[in-house]
Chain A
Amino acid sequence: MVEEGGGGGVGAMSFLKRFPPPAEGVRHQQPDTEAVLAGRTLGSGTLYIAESRLSWLENSGVGFSLDYPTISLHAVSRDLTAYPCEHLYVMVNAKFEEEETKEAPVAEGEEEEDSDDDAEPIAEFRFVPSDKSALEAMFSAMCECQALHPDPDDEDSDNDYEGDEYDVEAHELGQGDIPTFYTYEEGLSHLTAEGQATLERLEGMLAQSVSSQYNMAGVRTEDSIREYEDGMEVDIAPVVAGQFEDAEVDH
């Protein structure tokens, strides 16, 4: 049962609070957007996709925020058989107090409530903008903001990506971030102790193999790269330009 309170029908939702709209890092703002939780509408308001969190404020000034680490996934849904309106779907790994309800637009005769709710709380939000053409922008803004909040529990040790997404295709097209091109000094300073040890080892190997290859010590051919490549991403000192100007290198 919906309590008709001052909040225009959302008075029963205790997780709604009054707060000022985010002022910083707002990647996208979508007014005239309805928010729906588990099939129950929360009203119409403005969705703020900010770098710090996702916020929705009803026109009356109450709303809620979602932290990106709690958002499992988001999507653009244009499948009207699944839900009657095109919307931005957001699945949250948290529980939100809601009125008990037996009906939902999606369920068809099956158990509404999940039996394994205690294992993993899931809340499904739908943000329905009146302007359907904005869904792409909303989706993209959310993708960008999500990328700003990597999983803090991630035990992956290989975390020296410098925090940026490595777009291989962009690099292939020559549009990559310049910072990945290290100068000798920069490259050396980025090496860990392990990396430096590897660098010394590899350079030693290169020096020893001068006689058996076309290259001079320190000059890297594609063959030498392949040969000494062991998967470790180490920046080897580049050759000083013109150093081997007079070398008789067979091209």
Chain B
Amino acid sequence: MEVSHSLKERTIAENSLVILLQGLRGRVTTVDLRDESTATGRVTNVDAFMNVRLSEVNFTDRQGTVSRLEELFVTGRNIRYVHIPDEVDIRATIEQQLQAIHRVRYFGGRDKGRREFPCTKHK
């Protein structure tokens, strides 16, 4: 499953694409690069600039040669597509990531002062 080509979905994704990718941490994903090489590996980290770090990678260069890379860091600029695994619920992943961020921002003082309200499962 590739990132959508639809303009509407892409516009939305542009504001939260990084959040979605960050939600893929720990999952095996395929990243298509601008030069048409591809890298399939486990997502270790994705930063705010969409730089992606993968581990245990099968890398296919643009000539089709496959090699194994233990760790790979590809700059966001050079990523064309990120394949989202089929089992990933994209919407839920984005919402979960947003919730995690908001949980931190809004409930930053949760360990300080009196709790105004119970802390429910916000996972």
Contacts and interface: CB of A to CB of B under 8 A. Distances in A.
Interface residues of A, number: 66
B69 A151 contact: no
Contacts of A73: 33, 72-75, 78
B3 interface: no
A251 B57 CA distance: 50
Contacts of B57: 75
A241 interface: yes
A172 B114 contact: no
Contacts of A108: 65
Contacts of B71: 75-76, 136, 139
A239 interface: yes
Interface string B49-67: 1010100010100110101
A209 B112 CA distance: 27
Nearest to A72: B78
A139 B73 contact: yes
Contacts of B73: 73-75, 139, 142-143, 146
Contact of A225 (B14, B33, B49, B102): B102
Given A73-B72, A79-B69, A219-B116, A122 B106 contact: no
A165 B48 CA distance: 6
Main secondary structure of the interface of A (DSSP, over half): loop
A166 B74 contact: no
Contacts of A242: 114
A106 interface: yes
A120 interface: yes
A101 to B, nearest CB: 16
Interface string A92-132: 01000000000000111011001000001010000000000
B55 to A, nearest CB: 9
Nearest to A155: B14
B15 interface: yes
Interface string B4-33: 000000000011100000100100000001
Nearest to B78: A72
Interface string A183-221: 000000000000000000000000000000001000111
Interface stretch (A16-24, A35-43, A55-63, A230-238): A230-238
21 contacts: A72-B33, A73-B72, A76-B70, A81-B67, A110-B63, A110-B65, A120-B35, A143-B51, A158-B14, A172-B103, A172-B104, A182-B105, A215-B117, A219-B117, A222-B117, A222-B122, A233-B101, A235-B106, A239-B116, A244-B116, A251-B117
Given A72-B35, A75-B71, A180-B104, 9 more contacts: A75-B73, A77-B69, A81-B67, A83-B67, A89-B69, A150-B76, A153-B77, A168-B101, A219-B117
Interface of B: 14-16, 22, 25, 33-35, 47-49, 51, 53, 57, 59, 62-63, 65, 67-78, 97-98, 100-106, 108-109, 111, 113-114, 116-118, 120, 122
